[in-house]
């Protein structure tokens, strides 16, 4: 029997779950069992848990359906536990170094009590200076093990469930389990404390609780707030049935109603039913108020008395219940021109158009990327949706025929932004755009992240300076309802880099659908349009932007590369879109395709890809064609820009560090050899998870047509997908 079982519910925290599990497995005290509780084998966290289980036999994942909630996950973990003591850890929190050793030592000194409470750290989401909110309460506890009557203030209500170690035999003997529903920690404390016979306290933090930027889900507005009163009533009834001592009853009562008053004083948490909540809370207060109970002094005491009297109107006046409207002024739209600003404000007062969708890609650079692919599929599957694409004035000429568009900054652009129900972008709309109730914002992203993104850029000064205000960035993130991911790596990264309340859709990138739907004729046509000579090997060279350079540098003598690589090699040069000036240059065996509208067309035309650290490698891998990483400045890029994984350890193919090495891998054929092919297969398995040719359909059905998740077409397994044919097959 292990000394400890640590139970880690993981629903909705896949992005940080690895860190939580590693914080347990890295403990100096190793006599443990780790149970990650996943929502099922296909849940985002299941892959993380399975990977840890493969590496460490102490990891024993179990499943609990998301519908069972946090309580169901924890109860499933307890049912599977074999340890002498049970601990709970949220999937986005950390077990601090030395925690288990300290707990074990304290349990030994106190002769294994039923419950050992410990301090915890409360860390801001930006990893700021942590606090210890339980320190003041626990400091007053007796030094050794003690009976609950000796320290009645320790009711457990003021502490989260993961702030203690519980003797498993004690839980089993009393049939203790987490109650269903919300605020389950309150109900858990109400069950634990009347049953516990011996307690102890560890005055050392064992858990680092990392606050979510969007706050606790329990604090969000909604009818679930009424569940707090269910848990409060259950705890008070159980205490009465157990004949709890008067001192303990008074402490429990006061701490429970402190929680109730926090909700009562925040009417924004209860958009409807606030009066009913107040009245029920008052009835519970009067029914369970201990004999001789005296309300606390000061403002809190006044709130107690008003609640006991059922004085709802007076309570609202005291607490200023109209605070919910105070933020309206901060949302005043601010387009630059006064006339446009007033026009936008007027449009915001009009109702949303349920059939209007606005699309934009790359800050208005044209009809491209995921928004274009979704737009095209919407015309097929949702013809009732009227779509408007936003573009800069200098890109109007490049818009496809029949695509309705508006110039960014024009009065019409602000009008459709004000009234559209659906807004789709692969970057972000202007800061002045207001997220209206009922509107749906879809962030599609425009690449799988190798380099650091979002708030993860804060630790890299060069990048952070270019990013600008992170507060403004996060304000834009707060408008998102959905965020798109093409692989599980992206899911985990987006969760950390763009913390918010949006839902991540693991549907794949719609722009990559064409890699599975294009035909041999399409490939041949695109090569002719780009001017690729018949019979040649077209190598796409697509370097990324470098924050420490002020302009575009190819990093290669491309003419020299062509001469050294072989007679039939031509290069398709595609610079980062930051350097697209609409021109076209190059000559001989160099074809500049930077200004070509579709990067997907360019990829289809290429027989192989050479890139450095561009996210194009993740998209191109769908074609199952050779990829070569040219990493001449990897060390500088990694330290300056920041990356999420070591590309050179898990590359999509051959790696070259010098021009000579790059030419050689093409000259001797190793760019497409056995080792390169094996590396590409592993890379595709990791990063091409959800791209199968039907991503746009899934997005349109879920977001624009509102179909339920269970009816969305499933992702086709990777071995069953057939990528578009290469030019070799076209010629044959």
- pLDDT-based confidence at residue 547 (cuts at 50, 70, 90): low
Residue whose entry in the numeric block shows the structure tokens 């909604």: 222
Question: Which tens digit of pLDDT belongs to each residue from 86-126?
Answer: 999 999 899 999 999 999 999 999 999 999 999 999 988 76
What does the pLDDT read at residue 581? 44
**What are the beta bridge partners of residue 609?**
540, 627
Tell me the percentage of the chain whose pLDDT exceeds 90.
74
Q: Name the average pLDDT for the chain.
A: 90
Q: Give the pLDDT mean for 718-722.
A: 96
- pLDDT score of 396 more than 50: yes
What does the pLDDT read at residue 553? 61
Q: Give the distance from CA 21 to its chain's centroid.
A: 18
- pLDDT score of 464 more than 80: no
Tell me the percentage of the chain whose pLDDT exceeds 70.
93
Residue whose entry in the numeric block shows the structure tokens 């170690």: 165
> Packing angle between helix 14-25 and helix 488-497, nearest 10 degrees?
90
Question: Which tens digit of pLDDT belongs to each residue from 217-232?
Answer: 788 888 999 999 999 9
CA angle, 321 as apex, 319 and 325 as ends, to 5°? 135
Q: Give the pLDDT mean for 517-533.
A: 94
What does the pLDDT read at residue 323? 44
β-strand 164-167 against 115-123: which pairing, if any? antiparallel
**H helix runs in 289-365, sequence order:** 298-309, 312-319, 338-348
Contacts of 313 (CB under 8 A, 6+ apart): none
- pLDDT score of 335 more than 80: no
- pLDDT score of 322 more than 70: no
Q: Give the pLDDT mean for 687-710.
A: 96
- pLDDT score of 319 more than 90: no
Does 150 or 315 have the greater pLDDT score? 150
Enter the pTM of the model: 0.72
Question: Which tens digit of pLDDT belongs to each residue from 35-48?
Answer: 999 988 888 889 89
What does the pLDDT read at residue 551? 53
**H helix runs in 110-226, sequence order:** 135-138, 168-173, 184-195
Q: What are the φ/ψ torsions at residue 625 (nearest 5 degrees)?
A: -115, 160
Q: Look at 128-132, 175-179, 636-640 and tell me which has the smallest mean pLDDT.
A: 128-132
- pLDDT-based confidence at residue 731 (cuts at 50, 70, 90): very low
In eight-state DSSP terms, residue 726 is: P
What is the enclosing helix (H) or strand (E) of 137? helix 135-138
**Intra-chain end-to-end CA distance of the chain, in Å:** 65
Residues in the chain, how many?
732
In eight-state DSSP terms, residue 7 is: E
- pLDDT score of 251 more than 60: yes
Q: Give the pLDDT mean for 662-668.
A: 93
What does the pLDDT read at residue 326? 37
Question: What is the C-alpha separation between 533 and 530, in angstroms, rounded?
Answer: 9
Question: Which tens digit of pLDDT belongs to each residue from 404-438?
Answer: 999 999 999 999 999 999 999 999 999 899 999 99
The three-state (H, E, C) secondary structure of 430-478, written as one string: CCCCCCCCCCEEEECCCCCCCECCHHHHHHCHHHHHHHCCHHHHHHHHC
């Amino acid at each position: 029997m292990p000394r400890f079982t640590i139970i880690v519910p993981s629903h909705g925290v896949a992005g940080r779950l690895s860190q939580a599990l590693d914080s347990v497995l890295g403990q100096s005290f190793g006599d443990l069992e780790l149970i990650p509780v996943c929502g099922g084998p296909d849940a985002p966290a299941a892959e993380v848990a399975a990977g840890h289980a493969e590496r460490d036999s102490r990891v024993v994942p179990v499943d609990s359906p998301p519908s069972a909630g946090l309580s169901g996950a924890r109860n499933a973990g307890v049912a599977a536990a074999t340890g002498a003591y049970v601990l709970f850890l949220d999937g986005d929190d950390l077990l601090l170094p030395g925690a288990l050793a300290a707990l074990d030592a304290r349990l030994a000194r106190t002769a294994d009590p039923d419950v050992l409470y410990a301090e915890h750290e409360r860390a801001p989401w930006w990893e700021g200076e942590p606090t210890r909110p339980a320190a003041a309460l626990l400091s007053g506890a007796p030094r050794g093990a003690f009976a609950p009557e000796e320290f009645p203030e320790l009711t457990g209500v003021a502490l989260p469930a993961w702030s203690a170690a519980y003797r498993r035999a004690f839980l089993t003997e009393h049939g203790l389990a987490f109650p269903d529903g919300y605020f389950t920690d309150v109900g858990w404390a109400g069950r634990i404390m009347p049953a516990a016979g011996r307690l102890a306290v560890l005055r050392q933090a064992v858990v680092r609780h990392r606050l979510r930027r969007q706050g606790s889900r329990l604090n969000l507005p909604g009818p679930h707030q009424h569940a707090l009163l269910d848990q409060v009533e259950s705890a008070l009834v159980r205490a009465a049935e157990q004949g709890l001592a008067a001192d303990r009853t008074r402490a429990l009562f006061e701490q429970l109603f402190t929680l109730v008053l926090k909700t009562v004083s925040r009417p924004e948490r209860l958009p409807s039913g606030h009066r009913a909540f107040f009245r029920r809370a008052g009835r519970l207060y009067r029914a369970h108020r201990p004999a001789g109970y005296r309300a606390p002094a000061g403002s809190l005491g006044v709130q107690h008395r008003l609640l006991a009297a059922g004085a709802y109107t007076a309570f609202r006046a005291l607490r200023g219940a109209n605070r919910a409207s105070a933020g309206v002024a901060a949302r005043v739209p601010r387009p630059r021109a006064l006339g446009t600003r007033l026009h936008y404000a007027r449009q915001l007062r009009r109702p949303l158009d349920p059939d209007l969708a606005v699309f934009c890609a790359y800050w208005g650079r044209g009809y491209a990327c995921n928004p274009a692919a979704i737009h095209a599929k919407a015309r097929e599957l949702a013809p009732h949706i009227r779509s408007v694409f936003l573009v800069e004035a200098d890109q109007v000429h490049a818009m496809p025929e029949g695509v309705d568009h508006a110039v960014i900054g024009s009065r019409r652009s602000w009008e459709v932004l004000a009234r559209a129900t659906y807004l789709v972008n692969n970057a972000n709309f202007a800061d002045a755009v207001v997220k209206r109730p009922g509107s749906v914002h879809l962030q599609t992203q425009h690449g799988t992240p190798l380099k650091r993104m979002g708030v993860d850029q804060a630790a890299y000064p060069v990048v952070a300076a270019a990013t600008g205000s992170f507060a403004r960035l996060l304000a834009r993130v707060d408008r998102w309802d959905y965020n798109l991911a093409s692989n599980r790596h992206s899911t985990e990264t987006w969760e950390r880099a763009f913390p918010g309340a949006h839902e991540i859709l693991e549907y794949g990138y719609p722009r990559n659908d064409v890699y599975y739907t294009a035909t041999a004729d399409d490939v041949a046509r695109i090569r002719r349009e780009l001017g690729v000579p018949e019979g040649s090997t077209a190598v796409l060279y697509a370097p990324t932007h470098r924050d420490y350079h002020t302009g575009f540098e190819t990093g290669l003598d491309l003419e020299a590369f062509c001469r050294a690589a072989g007679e039939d090699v031509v290069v398709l040069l595609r610079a980062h879109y930051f350097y697209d000036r609409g021109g076209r240059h190059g000559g001989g065996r160099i074809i500049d395709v930077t200004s070509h509208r579709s990067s997907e067309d360019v990829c289809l035309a290429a027989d192989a890809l050479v890139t450095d650290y561009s996210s194009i490698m993740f998209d191109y891998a769908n074609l199952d064609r050779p990829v070569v990483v040219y990493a001449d400045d990897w060390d500088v890029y990694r330290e300056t820009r920041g990356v999420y994984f070591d590309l050179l350890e898990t590359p999509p193919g051959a790696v070259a560090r010098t021009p000579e090495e790059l030419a050689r891998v093409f000259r001797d054929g190793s760019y497409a050899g056995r080792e390169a092919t094996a590396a590409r297969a592993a890379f595709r398995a990791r990063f091409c998870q959800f791209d199968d040719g039907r991503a746009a359909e899934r997005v349109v059905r879920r977001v624009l047509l509102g179909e339920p998740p269970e009816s969305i077409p499933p992702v086709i397994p990777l071995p069953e997908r057939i990528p578009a044919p290469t030019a070799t097959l076209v010629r044959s």
